[in-house]
Structure 1
């Protein structure tokens, strides 16, 4: 038995009760920030109601546990021993709920970062970072603290698929992946943007070296929106690459922008 069996996270479950079963449409980690949680539930509730569905929350050590617990409650309420998920439920979404991917680029090509946040003893691991980047753990923790954002509890795991020889230029993408896995940043928005910036211990976002080539790589790899430091935004726009350029001064602004874009 592992420690994860005694700890649980809250998940948002969207779907429709069919009387004899529940059709699962979507599931995602519930944001830990109360305001963001309420906003997400309200927005999902409007969309679900339009399709005659509902938004619910359930707790579990994993997304699968949360769904099982939720269905068990409905089974008890219905009095039907065979109440379960319907055959057309989107069960393919359950397995990848915890994994969130963000994207960065450098002159040599794209870089993907994957993060997971799971219940368990507090830990933070980063694999695939540049060997010279020996302070990435400290930098991420202090940057979030400097931005007034609580570092997620539980087991935090970050994987950099190919750092392509760069180190701190991946900072903003790493932070966004962590917050996406924690439910603080919309994961679907992260699929569509390239996050290009370094972060300081204060939570400020700084420009990366060779920003012109970095942004051109982003465009060449299909990204149409880039998040960069405010200090570099004008220079990026002046490249006239037809990109949606978002300049942010700190992590907090990046989070607000990404979530606001998800709402549109």
Structure 2
């Protein structure tokens, strides 16, 4: 899929991996719609890259529909969706204060998994209605999972479940949407320098980096964005889940 001139939505585009992706897509000529719950962050990033701020909840049907309707009016229609919105809440099934509250588990699943599916289904509907490009393509969707989908640590049961669901959606979604000329791929990042980790002391960041075989450092959001770019541009990659983790395999704790 050609990026230049394409209308794109990046959820969670106000910070972290989403912000890096929004900036890279804009640098390559996309019309980027920065969709984030944080209005100030969405506006700031959109202003910096010449994009369009969109404020809302990815798991809310009306917010999602409003976002894709807006993006579908730009360029030759909505062509790219990158789902980066999510939360990384922790909690043990049986902790010192009792069982993990069902509401806490439900919140993580709702934002990470249901939110990803909501945006994917709404964007796919718009993409399927768009004209075919010269190569027969109509759109591409890139979702964000995590290595926690494969090696969830103690306290990550909700997060791992949400990201595991995203991994499991990749192939059936790609198979189903392929007849419309829409590809679906997923990136499963390891430990990246997101705002949460940047707030930690440098010594702690370095310590986390030593657990990664090579390169022994935390991932740079720009590296995530470049992977997304590859998945958008390489027309033969479809239904894949790419680990982006420096060969890291998470330990139980």
Same-fold call, TM cutoff 0.5: no
**Bigger proportion of residues as helix:** 2
Higher-RCO chain (CA-CA 8 Å, sequence separation at least 6): 2
